[in-house]
Structure 1
């Protein structure tokens, strides 16, 4: 346990002693209206590093094998293709896709048979543009509970996800697992990101910002059944108490979650919200420009 935490903290020390803050540039706007964002519910957009694919989850788009399915569009000579199902969907729930920064595959969660609990984290490789077989990441990551929102750090060494089955401070806590074999999906036993970043309620859906260390994530810590986006930048190797991102991003109409970034767009944050009058469905994806300052 100490070896893992020491290695994780060591890779954060370079960020300095002063926490970074997120400064927003402008107002959120609908992301890819009528292409990705539609009258359906779209959640947790992810981008392939080569810019050729976008994937997301939907809870209500018809035509899929499960209740929750993962959809994608691909770039063609004539523009983006119509949305279609990814080949690795199961008849159960599949959700929260997130591309590996090197484009080697996609992380997601599923409650398909053969897992360790409810929702487990899986990885599906991408080879020559085709998806392979989904692989369960095993007991060092997954538990008898639910794991959500897996995301890999830009250097490919840290997997952050939410779990309610590994103990912790609240319902879902944020955990990190360090890669133990650079040539495979072998991960060390996951460790809690700490009592400052996690609350007594749900904390989930993290995303690494362009510095590779600062985390934006969804949290229920403000209470009143409200989920908002918060940010925490490590100081001396530890994540301090997060900062609420304010009502420019956070809406009073619904939960704000599903933080995501595009490696080809540093300084742009994607997230889920409901922001009348700029809406297409009940769960829309928005984008907003930001910068990090000390």
Structure 2
């Protein structure tokens, strides 16, 4: 670990997304040009907003002001080929103590410096700043942070891009392990005392070289306390509701982190820089190019239902870009990429989220032809207790929910006039069953008129009694209420009393189930020409139940 070689550092974030998760990046390479020197050690890269200038520290350099074991500020200029050259020590900012640029204003006219300009080493550990003059830089001015008292040898700083937050690393009285992360927030013209940033991002090891993104919600730092690849790994964490609430640190992975020491990570738009000794005993500055993920977009194509009741509508999602795998969420609750077998017309909205959290939305509408006159509409099942006309609601069915299909149908086709016919099973007298079925039809009628507000002139309730037993399809031991597509081995069965009674003694469960299928309500289209202005008044007695002795 080379923790003792580069003493302090600050990085100013300049263009980072809020999540700070890289979709992909180039392989790390030593910064091209003359910044890295075979004999010396380079670290704490701080770059101008346009990447034209890099400031860094160089140690073990005989030409440093204080000699080989001193730490001086150096700078280099970006060349046309992307390398950095014209490397030189920065005059006026170096003395015989450890010097470092630990931040830069967005316009490049202010530098934040390690506060080592008071004439006595370690007299006060903190931050100074200088401003650009016509010739060189102004004299350093200290930034006062109340109750900042650093006794340890190692300490580091980071000033946020907005210059209203300072994140620092040092051994404090309440540190969990070695160096911990603290924060000071600017309040007006003064800074708050350092606040410990919590045990989620501070471990029993050390946490150093903090870097806060411009949106101030994501923090990079190096640590040896959360496991990883080597002596120190680079992690990131996302801020919660305050400066002491952070997500569990995430390792940047073994392409950025090496089996040795990696720290001082700084991210600038499409480029990132950090210090690492992966290829030797002394640290060099490395860089990567950040690749932008393909933008996720989604559209859709709908296929209308071919004829009323066909249930063959579909919507196909059309994706462009994004990073798989994708999660799909449709407004009807489906999680598939495409929708098929749609039975209802209307709008279907889709939300897609890709592997890196990009979100895209779209919607498509499909239509259904109006039902032809005199066609019988197969409604969702509406059940009744034996011998009663109450709409059955229990753990197996909610008959009022089933009637919502009728309500939505009437809303979709405002000129539709519908007959609701109810049927009974064959048990009991035919006269009683006729009245029972009339009441069951009126129960549906009352719900749609009184609860859902459908015009009563558009519904005609009819009781059919036991006169029309239901027809079903049977294959083996299974019964189907709609005709299967594959009719191989399928027979039609009319649920007459004689047919059902054969199971009365041998299979009582099937016996009751077949009777229940006969207790049903169906719809038949009477017309598609309802006119509220000319339609005659509804019979008010239809909202009353028939008396049954």
Instruction: Say if 2:61 is the partner of 1:61.
Output: yes
Instruction: Say if 2:233 is the partner of 1:228.
Output: yes
Partner of 1:70: 73
1:212-235 CA-to-partner distances (Å, cap 9, x unmatched) read 431111111146981110111123
Larger Rg: 2
RMSD, aligned CA: 3.2
Q: Residue 38 of structure 1: CA displacement? A: 2.4
Q: What SS does the corresponding residue of 2:28 show, helix, strand or coil?
A: strand
User: For 2:248, which of 235, 241, 244 is the aligned residue?
Assistant: 241
Aligned counterparts of 1:135 and 1:116: Cα–Cα separation in 2:
16
* 8 Å contact kept, 2:115–2:142: no
Partner of 1:91: 96
1:168 to 1:100, Cα distance in 2 relative to 1, 3 A: farther
1:116 to 1:43, Cα distance in 2 relative to 1, 3 A: closer
* 8 Å contact kept, 1:174–1:192: yes
Partner of 1:8: none
Q: Residue 137 of structure 1: CA displacement? A: 2.2
Partner of 2:87: 82
User: For 2:169, which of 151, 162, 167 is the aligned residue?
Assistant: 162
1:93 to 1:20, Cα distance in 2 relative to 1, 3 A: closer
Aligned counterparts of 1:84 and 1:76: Cα–Cα separation in 2:
18
Q: Which runs of 4+ in 1 moved over 6 A?
A: none
Partner of 1:255: 261
Q: Residue 57 of structure 1: CA displacement? A: 0.8
Q: Residue 282 of structure 1: CA displacement? A: 2.4
Q: What SS does the corresponding residue of 1:81 show, helix, strand or coil?
A: strand
Q: Residue 106 of structure 1: CA displacement? A: 1.8
User: For 1:103, which of 108, 117, 121 is the aligned residue?
Assistant: 108
User: Mapping of 1:80-229 within 5 angstroms?
Assistant: 80-95=85-100, 97-111=102-116, 113=119, 119-128=125-134, 130-140=136-146, 142-146=148-152, 148-165=155-172, 167-181=174-188, 186-209=190-213, 211-222=215-226, 226-229=231-234
* 8 Å contact kept, 1:141–1:187: no
1:14-67 CA-to-partner distances (Å, cap 9, x unmatched) read x99xx6634332311222x23212212100111123545321111112212231
TM (norm. structure 1) is: 0.77
Count of residue pairs brought into register by the alignment: 266
Unaligned runs of 5+ in 2: 1-16, 294-355, 358-549
1:140 to 1:100, Cα distance in 2 relative to 1, 3 A: farther
Name the stretch that deviates more: 197-206 or 22-31: 22-31
Aligned counterparts of 2:253 and 2:105: Cα–Cα separation in 1:
29
More relative contact order in 1 or in 2 (CA 8 Å, sep 6+)?
1
Aligned counterparts of 2:146 and 2:114: Cα–Cα separation in 1:
15
The structure whose residues are more often helix, as a share, is 2
The structure whose residues are more often strand, as a share, is 1
Q: Residue 128 of structure 1: CA displacement? A: 4.2
Q: Residue 243 of structure 1: CA displacement? A: 0.8
Aligned counterparts of 1:74 and 1:245: Cα–Cα separation in 2:
28
Unaligned runs of 5+ in 1: 1-14
* 8 Å contact kept, 2:261–2:278: no
Q: Residue 100 of structure 1: CA displacement? A: 2.7
* 8 Å contact kept, 2:72–2:89: no
